[in-house]
Amino acid sequence: MGERTTDNTQRINKTVTTATGQTLMEIYNLLFAAFGPQNWWPAETELEMMVGAILTQNTSWNNVEKAIQNLKERDLLSASGLGEVPASILAGYIRPAGYYNLKAKRLKNLIKFIENEYNGDIDRLFSPDTDTVRKGLLSVKGIGLETADSIILYGAGRPLFVVDTYTHRILARHGLIQEEAGYNDVQLFLMDNLPHDVELFKEFHALIVKTGKDFCRRRPLCSNCPLENLNREQYG
């Protein structure tokens, strides 16, 4: 895994010619050198990945893993299983992920959408063009931009960069975007300056999350951060 990722990165580095793109790849390379491959998204099936994308809203992945394990132990990680289990019972199984009543409704909304629009076939869900898939996912109550794009990148395997709070924070603190930049602005900035490579987008997003959790918090821990010396003049 590590060797393949390194080879892919070397290939991508050679294709980036703009100054901004090179800065972004410098960030990627520094983070990858510090943390290594993140093996993200951890899921055995596309549906499990989609379930995880909803459960991880406003909670840690450790909590999500506990909730997913509960579903696995009860053989519920299927469209039919999640569709048939009552929401009140489902909520109990996913309690470790927090906001369990709300997330149970969101999972039911997703499954209902897949059943009604694609007869429960996730391959059919992912078969249209990316804009169509995204529009469909965003029509599901409880699925926002970050969750939809996570599903498209990690589930459908389409090159769409996922933006989260950490992405915005890290790019803004290094002077690459404005503080007031919105989700679509940040995504467009990244998509315009990086090669549209699925594996790069997956790894880069995962590394950003790792950096945000460990260092680039609301109160930054800049000492020993892999990006400490990047564009040092940007620090206030």
- What ranges do the domains of the chain cover? 2-37+161-214, 46-155
Structure confidence at residue 230 (pLDDT)? 86
129-135-139-141 Cα dihedral, nearest 10 degrees: 100
| Mean pLDDT of the 164-173 span | 97
Would you say residue 236 has pLDDT above 70? no
CATH assignment of 2-37+161-214, among 1.10.287, 1.10.1670, 2.10.25, 2.40.160? 1.10.1670
pLDDT score of 136:
98
CA angle 98, 56, 23 (to 5 degrees): 145
Residue 130 CA to residue 128 CA, distance in Å, equals: 7
Distance of alpha carbon 191 from the chain centroid: 15
Which pLDDT score, from 0 to 100, does residue 18 have?
87
What is the pLDDT, as a whole number, of residue 17? 74
Asked if the model's pLDDT at residue 235 lies above 60, the reply is no
| pLDDT mean over 225-233 | 79
Mean pLDDT of 89-101: 98
pLDDT tier at 164, thresholds 50, 70, 90: very high
**Averaged pLDDT score across all residues of the chain:** 93
pLDDT, residue 15, reads: 77
Percent of the chain whose pLDDT exceeds 70: 92
Q: Which amino acid is at 181?
A: A
Q: Yes or no: say if 133 and 125 are a contact pair by the CB < 8 Å rule.
A: yes
Q: Give the pTM.
A: 0.92
Q: What is the largest CA-CA distance in the chain?
A: 57
Q: Which of 47, 19, 23 is nearest to 156 (CA)?
A: 47
Instruction: Looking at the structure, give the CATH architecture of the domain made up of residues 46-155.
Output: Orthogonal Bundle (1.10)
pLDDT band for position 14 (cuts 50, 70, 90): low
| pLDDT over 80 at 116, yes or no | yes
